[in-house]
Amino acid sequence: MEIALEEARAAGARGEVPVGACVVLGDRVVARAGNRTRELHDPTAHAEVLALRAACAVLGSERLGGHDLYVTLEPCPMCAAAISFARIGRLYFGASDPKSGGVTVGARVYSHPQCHHVPEVYDGIAAGEAERLLKDFFAGRRD
Amino acid sequence: MEIALEEARAAGARGEVPVGACVVLGDRVVARAGNRTRELHDPTAHAEVLALRAACAVLGSERLGGHDLYVTLEPCPMCAAAISFARIGRLYFGASDPKSGGVTVGARVYSHPQCHHVPEVYDGIAAGEAERLLKDFFAGRRD
Q: Are A35 and A51 in contact (CB under 8 A)?
A: no
Which of the residues B40, B103, B114 would you substitute to probe the A interface, choosing the one with the greatest number of A C-beta atoms within 10 Å? B114
**Pick from A41, A53, A106: CB nearest B114:** A106
ipTM score above 0.85: yes
> Can you give the pLDDT at residue A140?
87
CA–CA dist A39, A14 (Å, integer): 8
Give me the helices (H) in chain A, please.
2-13, 47-59, 77-85, 127-142
Split at pLDDT 50, 70, 90, the class of A56 is: very high
Beta strands in chain B (DSSP E): 20-25, 28-34, 68-73, 90-95, 120-122
- CA atoms within a 13 Å half-sphere pointing along the CA-CB vector of A67: 30
CA–CA dist A2, B82 (Å, integer): 28
**Average pLDDT rounded to a whole number, residues A112-127:** 97
Residues of A assigned a catalytic role: 48
CA–CA dist A38, B105 (Å, integer): 31
Which residues of A are part of a known binding site for Zn(2+)? 46, 76, 79
User: CA separation (Å) from A79 to A73, A100, B78, B85, B131?
Assistant: 11, 11, 7, 12, 27
Directed axis angle between helix B77-85 and helix B47-59, to 10°? 20
Split at pLDDT 50, 70, 90, the class of A104 is: very high
Assign residue B126 a region (left: φ > 0; alpha: ψ between -120 and 50; beta: otherwise).
left
Split at pLDDT 50, 70, 90, the class of B141 is: confident
Residues above pLDDT 90, as percent of chain A? 97
Catalytic residue among B7, B48, B62, B131: B48
- Inter-chain residue contact A107 with B107, CB threshold 8 Å: yes
> Chain A residues with CB inside 8 Å of B100's CB?
114, 116
pTM across the whole model: 0.97
> Can you give the pLDDT at residue A81?
98
**Average pLDDT rounded to a whole number, residues A50-59:** 97
A-B C-beta contacts closer than 8 Å = 127
- Inter-chain residue contact A52 with B60, CB threshold 8 Å: no
> Can you give the pLDDT at residue A143?
73
Q: Are B84 and A44 in contact (CB under 8 A)?
A: no
> Can you give the pLDDT at residue A80?
98
**Pick from B77, B86, B101: CB nearest A43:** B86
3-class DSSP state of A105: coil
Split at pLDDT 50, 70, 90, the class of B134 is: very high
CA–CA dist A65, A47 (Å, integer): 19
> Can you give the pLDDT at residue B143?
73
Q: Indicate if B48 belongs to the active site.
A: yes
Is the predicted pLDDT of residue A141 greater than 90, yes or no? no
User: CA separation (Å) from B130 to A20, B54, B100?
Assistant: 38, 22, 15
- CA atoms within a 13 Å half-sphere pointing along the CA-CB vector of A26: 1
> Can you give the pLDDT at residue A73?
98
- Inter-chain residue contact B115 with A107, CB threshold 8 Å: yes
> Chain B residues with CB inside 8 Å of A113's CB?
106
With CA atoms as reference, the chain A residue closest to B48 would be: A44
Q: How many CB atoms lie within 10 A of CB A16?
A: 22
